[in-house]
């Protein structure tokens, strides 16, 4: 064979590998825990400096009308991992309690059967991506079930290092129960270091391994603990908080946690650049729901645990070089379920039969430059004897709460009253509009009735 022919074959081989590597994009989803809408400087934080996350927005799109599918951790994560309303799963309308505790009747029933969590056959996203050749990894907070059968490795993930529960001490990696919670795969482990840093180091190590695997796309899910309680800064006291101290914290400590999280996001993004992976990688950053105090949800009303917008409207940012034009701001109503649908569409993946997404492809909406469309979205959140309902239909939002035999209802026009202060149910026209939304809510509840 002539030298020219050999060189041609080598160059064609290199080109084939390059095209294969660029064939399907990598996907990284960074999920903050309990971060409020206004906890990032790019979303109006008056005190926290988050230049790395802000830069991500400057290089992509910033969403201003984006919702979690629940006001607590487990339901929002269920919606993301399934692309469907969390009510369809059963038992996960409230965060799984520390030590594998159910917090309302359906969750208590499932916990009694050792069945409180996301069943593997109801997981949608990771299995679908895996079928399309993706290597899936999760480093960080799971909160989808303590039982061994709910391990991420049985949910379509190839790698898992993180913790099973909803909150762990950042220095000792334990929670307020006797159960082991920090795992590598299926094995409980002990580690030294600050949780936010350990999650980042695991993610970076994964990226470094993947750079040597051209043509093998990856899905990297990085659900951070920060800034969820216990409120601990990396330079703060390392002593294990008492039960009374567990949920107590100052805004100054909280800001340190936010800024440290931003620095860790910066480390991850730098690794992508150094490894020449950035150009073919979609990176999305979001929060799982609104903040509790001392977080900030302004200008929206209230906090985590409620269905006012302060409990469910969250920051969301997406960067995809060459696909998403930089510097965009989107007011399109989106959800975590919509991200799931976007990720699957990007990967060319399809859900299993009967598990179609409840969301819209929010990223394609931005990429195609489509006109914003009205949405009808539903929520139901339960804890103990308290139940919240909400439906947003266009700009109208109806809410209902029952607790201790008392019922409260609200109707707001979010276009005129984004802070949800003026209850339209005080007027005849408001009562008529609410009846329409109540009927839609009843129909939705029938549709999403769980199968277990």
The pLDDT tens digits for 62-98 are 999 999 999 999 999 999 999 999 999 999 999 999 9
Residue 237 above 90 pLDDT? yes
| Spatial contact of 33 and 288, defined as CB atoms under 8 Å apart | yes
Residue 12 above 90 pLDDT? no
Q: Percent of the chain scored above 70 by pLDDT?
A: 95
The full DSSP string for 381-439 is EEETTEEEEEEEETTEEEEEEEETTEEEEEEEETTT-TT--S-GGGSHHHHHHHHHHHH
432 within a domain of the structure (yes/no):
yes
Average pLDDT over residues 4-33: 61
Do 262 and 389 share a domain, yes or no? no
- Beta strand 66-67 with 386-393 is unpaired
pLDDT band at 206 (very low <50, low <70, confident <90, very high): very high
- Return the bridge partners of 412, or none: 397
Closest CA to 32 of 340, 285, 344, 233: 285
CA dist 449 → 83, 86, 436 (Å): 16, 10, 21
Do 67 and 206 share a domain, yes or no? yes
Average pLDDT, the chain: 95
Burial class (CB in 10 A: 0-12, 13-18, 19+), 396: buried
Burial class (CB in 10 A: 0-12, 13-18, 19+), 350: middle
Domain's final residue, options 320, 345, 375: 375
User: How many whole angstroms separate alpha carbon 434 and alpha carbon 428?
Assistant: 10
Domain's final residue, options 375, 400, 425: 375
Do 118 and 250 share a domain, yes or no? yes
Q: Could you tell me the sign of the dihedral formed by the alpha carbons of 165, 169, 170, 173, in that order?
A: negative
5 within a domain of the structure (yes/no):
no
* pLDDT tens profile 262-276: 999 999 999 999 999
Average pLDDT over residues 376-395: 98
* pLDDT tens profile 131-169: 999 999 999 999 999 999 999 999 999 999 999 999 999
1 within a domain of the structure (yes/no):
no
Do 369 and 419 share a domain, yes or no? no
Do 438 and 308 share a domain, yes or no? no
Active-site residue flag, 173: no
Do 107 and 255 share a domain, yes or no? yes
- Domain residue limits at 257: 26-375
Active-site residue flag, 94: no
Closest CA to 360 of 326, 336, 378: 336
Do 34 and 109 share a domain, yes or no? yes
Closest CA to 399 of 367, 377, 384: 377
Closest CA to 53 of 304, 193, 209, 222: 222
Q: Which of 94, 143, 289, 365 is catalytic?
A: 143
| Spatial contact of 268 and 204, defined as CB atoms under 8 Å apart | yes
The full DSSP string for 24-50 is S-EEEEEEESS--TTSSGGGT-SS---
Do 281 and 396 share a domain, yes or no? no
Domain's final residue, options 348, 375, 402: 375
Average pLDDT over residues 194-207: 98
- State residue 16's pLDDT score: 37
Instruction: Give Cα 322 to chain centroid, integer Å.
Output: 24
pLDDT band at 22 (very low <50, low <70, confident <90, very high): low
| Spatial contact of 321 and 28, defined as CB atoms under 8 Å apart | no
Closest CA to 126 of 106, 155, 98, 101: 155
Residue 11 above 80 pLDDT? no
Q: Crossing angle for the helix pair 195-210 and 251-274, nearest 10 degrees?
A: 10
| Spatial contact of 438 and 432, defined as CB atoms under 8 Å apart | no
- State residue 214's pLDDT score: 82
Rounded to 5 degrees, φ, ψ at 281 are -130, 125
Do 151 and 271 share a domain, yes or no? yes
Do 365 and 310 share a domain, yes or no? yes
Do 361 and 417 share a domain, yes or no? no
- State residue 6's pLDDT score: 45
21 within a domain of the structure (yes/no):
no
Average pLDDT over residues 332-339: 98
Do 397 and 371 share a domain, yes or no? no
**CATH number, domain with residue 322:** 3.40.720.10
- Return the bridge partners of 184, or none: 161, 187
Q: Which of 73, 173, 228, 365 is catalytic?
A: 73
60 within a domain of the structure (yes/no):
yes
Give residue 232's region: left, alpha or beta (phi > 0; psi -120 to 50).
beta
Closest CA to 294 of 383, 357, 354, 229: 229
Q: Looking at the 3D structure of the chain, how many domains does it have?
A: 2
9 within a domain of the structure (yes/no):
no
User: How many whole angstroms separate alpha carbon 392 and alpha carbon 126?
Assistant: 29
- Return the bridge partners of 220, or none: 28, 137
401 within a domain of the structure (yes/no):
yes
285 within a domain of the structure (yes/no):
yes
Residue 7 above 80 pLDDT? no
- Return the bridge partners of 223, or none: 31
Closest CA to 401 of 426, 379, 428: 379
CA dist 291 → 57, 82, 258, 295, 367 (Å): 20, 23, 12, 5, 30
């Amino acid at each position: 064979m002539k030298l020219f022919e050999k060189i041609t074959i080598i160059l064609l081989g290199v080109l084939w590998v390059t095209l294969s590597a660029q064939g399907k994009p990598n996907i990284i989803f960074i999920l903050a825990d309990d971060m409020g809408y206004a906890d990032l400087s790019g979303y109006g934080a008056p005190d926290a400096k988050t230049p790395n996350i802000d830069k991500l927005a400057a290089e992509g799109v910033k969403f201003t009308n984006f919702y979690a599918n629940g006001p607590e951790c487990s339901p929002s994560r269920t919606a993301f991992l399934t692309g469907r309303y969390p009510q369809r799963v059963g038992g996960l309308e409230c965060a799984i309690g520390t030590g594998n505790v159910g917090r309302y009747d359906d969750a208590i029933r499932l916990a009694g059967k050792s069945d409180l969590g996301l069943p593997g056959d109801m997981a949608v996203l990771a299995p679908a991506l895996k079928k399309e050749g993706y290597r899936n990894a999760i480093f960080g907070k799971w909160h989808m079930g303590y039982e061994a059968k709910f391990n991420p490795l049985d949910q379509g993930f190839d790698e898992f290092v993180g913790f099973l529960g909803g909150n762990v001490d950042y220095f000792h990696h334990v929670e307020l129960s006797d159960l082991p919670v920090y795992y590598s795969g299926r094995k409980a482990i002990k580690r030294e270091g600050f949780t936010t840093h350990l999650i980042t180091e695991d993610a970076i190590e994964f990226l470094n391994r993947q750079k040597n695997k051209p043509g093998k796309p990856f899905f990297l899910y990085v659900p951070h603990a920060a800034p969820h309680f216990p409120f601990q800064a990396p330079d703060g006291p390392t002593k294990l908080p008492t039960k009374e101290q567990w949920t107590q914290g100052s805004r100054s400590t909280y800001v340190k946690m936010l800024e440290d999280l931003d620095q860790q996001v910066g480390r991850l993004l730098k690794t992508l650049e150094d490894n020449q992976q950035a150009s073919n990688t979609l990176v999305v950053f979001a929060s799982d729901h609104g903040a509790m105090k001392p977080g900030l949800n302004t200008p929206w009303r209230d906090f985590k645990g409620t269905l006012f917008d302060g409990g469910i409207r969250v920051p969301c940012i997406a960067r995809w070089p060459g696909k998403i034009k930089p510097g965009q701001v989107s007011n399109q109503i989106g959800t975590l379920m919509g991200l799931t649908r976007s990720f699957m569409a990007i990967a060319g993946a399809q859900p299993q039969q009967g598990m179609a997404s409840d969301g819209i492809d929010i990223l394609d909406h931005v990429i195609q430059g489509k006109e914003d469309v009205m949405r009808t979205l539903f929520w139901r959140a339960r804890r103990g004897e308290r139940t919240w309902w909400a439906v947003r239909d266009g700009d109208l939002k109806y809410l209902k709460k029952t607790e201790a035999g008392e019922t409260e209802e609200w109707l707001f026009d979010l276009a005129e009253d984004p802070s949800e202060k003026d209850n339209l149910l005080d007027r005849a026209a408001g009562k008529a509009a609410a009846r329409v939304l109540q009927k839609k809510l009843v129909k939705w509840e029938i549709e999403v009735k769980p199968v277990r």
